[in-house]
């Protein structure tokens, strides 16, 4: 059953696209993209099923990586399957290029989470004239950019700033609820780090500890860096503010939950078909 099902993939996707355009008025303007993993009840690998980073916490069992694209309504319009050891950040460009080849549509906005952001991916998206909205990992930004954010952002609910960077515009917004949550998590991690420092025999890998001169100490620089971004969420986009303001960019990104819903609905069905 599986070989025949795979051969029908392109035909099924064309039918799905036709349905989406007719009944959902899908016009290619906005596409949500994400990946998930599907593990198998076996410990033997093959060409496709490989051990890798498991979203199901089944790292000892082989898996596949499924990339999915959905409409603004959460309606699936295309997917690709990769071997289980594929890095998810390496999937978005080939999937989108195949989508462009199949549909001949070259202008749309792709919305994806922070795992998809990289210099190479941004370069390819720009090269192919694809607009993007992706999450930003503020813990990885430069010290200079962090200082700029810290000095310019207004720490009031709903306030945001837009900065030009090598990855496009970086939009940062502040939330007091997020601040309280992240502050609690940071203080909890610091307390755990202090306990490890007091009892080195129980040393384990923690975020806020480092080794200096063979001595375990608190990583004060990392604590200070983390403190500066508490309550702040970042988003990258190439869209000019005249096309989509900060509020619109943030709202579009938060609609990524629709693809999570699509994954939950289709995950068991896909596994059943592959097993057969």
* pLDDT tens-digit readout, 146-201: 999 999 999 999 899 999 998 999 999 999 999 999 999 999 999 999 988 888 76
66 and 6 in a common domain: yes
Low-confidence ranges of the chain (pLDDT < 50): 1-2, 274
Q: Are 69 and 33 in contact (CB under 8 A)?
A: yes
Q: What residues form DSSP beta bridges with 32? A: 70, 111
User: CB count, 10 Å around CB of 125?
Assistant: 21
Name the percent of the chain in helix, strand, coil, to the closest 5.
45, 25, 30
- From CA 97, how far away is CA 88, in angstroms rounded? 16
* pLDDT tens-digit readout, 197-214: 888 766 567 889 888 888
- From CA 121, how far away is CA 260, in angstroms rounded? 22
Q: Tell me whether residue 80 is in a domain.
A: yes
Domain membership of residue 79 as a residue range: 2-113+256-275
198 and 109 in a common domain: no
Q: Tell me whether residue 219 is in a domain.
A: yes
What pLDDT does 1 receive?
Answer: 41
What pLDDT does 164 receive?
Answer: 96
For the chain, the domain total comes to 2
What pLDDT does 3 receive?
Answer: 52
73 and 29 in a common domain: yes
- From CA 88, how far away is CA 67, in angstroms rounded? 8
Q: Are 50 and 31 in contact (CB under 8 A)?
A: no
Which DSSP category does 131 fall into?
E
What pLDDT does 265 receive?
Answer: 66
30 and 104 in a common domain: yes
CB-based contacts of 115, cutoff 8 Å, min separation 6 = 35, 88, 89
Q: Which two tokens stand for residue 87?
A: 């890095």
Q: Tell me whether residue 151 is in a domain.
A: no
- From CA 209, how far away is CA 198, in angstroms rounded? 12
Reported as half-sphere exposure (CB side, CA atoms, 13 A), residue 272 has a value of 5
- From CA 228, how far away is CA 222, in angstroms rounded? 10
261 and 189 in a common domain: no
Q: Tell me whether residue 210 is in a domain.
A: yes
108 and 19 in a common domain: yes
What pLDDT does 4 receive?
Answer: 58
Q: Are 126 and 106 in contact (CB under 8 A)?
A: no
């Amino acid at each position: 059953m599986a070989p025949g099902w795979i051969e029908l993939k392109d035909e099924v996707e064309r039918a799905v696209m036709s349905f989406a355009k007719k009944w959902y008025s899908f016009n290619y303007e906005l596409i949500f993209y994400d990946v998930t993993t599907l593990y198998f009840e076996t410990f033997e690998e093959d060409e496709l099923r490989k051990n890798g980073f498991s979203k199901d916490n089944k790292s000892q069992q082989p898996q596949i990586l499924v990339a999915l694209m959905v409409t603004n309504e959460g309606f699936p319009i295309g997917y690709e399957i990769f071997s289980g050891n594929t890095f998810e950040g390496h999937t978005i460009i080939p999937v989108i290029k195949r989508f462009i080849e199949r549909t001949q549509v070259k202008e749309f906005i792709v919305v994806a989470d922070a795992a998809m952001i990289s210099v190479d991916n941004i370069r390819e998206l720009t090269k192919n004239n694809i607009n993007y909205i992706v999450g930003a990992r503020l813990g990885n930004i430069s010290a200079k950019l962090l200082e700029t954010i810290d000095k310019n952002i207004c720490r009031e609910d709903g306030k945001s700033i837009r900065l030009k960077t090598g990855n496009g515009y970086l939009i940062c917004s502040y939330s007091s609820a997020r601040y309280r949550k992240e502050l609690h998590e940071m203080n909890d991690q610091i307390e755990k780090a202090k306990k490890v420092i007091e009892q080195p025999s129980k040393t384990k890998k923690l975020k806020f500890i480092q080794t200096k001169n063979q001595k375990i100490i608190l990583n004060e620089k990392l604590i200070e860096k983390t403190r500066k971004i508490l309550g702040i969420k970042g988003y990258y986009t190439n869209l000019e503010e005249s096309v989509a303001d900060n509020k619109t960019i943030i709202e579009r990104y938060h609609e990524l939950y629709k693809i999570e819903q699509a994954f939950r609905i289709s995950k068991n069905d896909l596994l059943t078909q592959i097993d057969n």
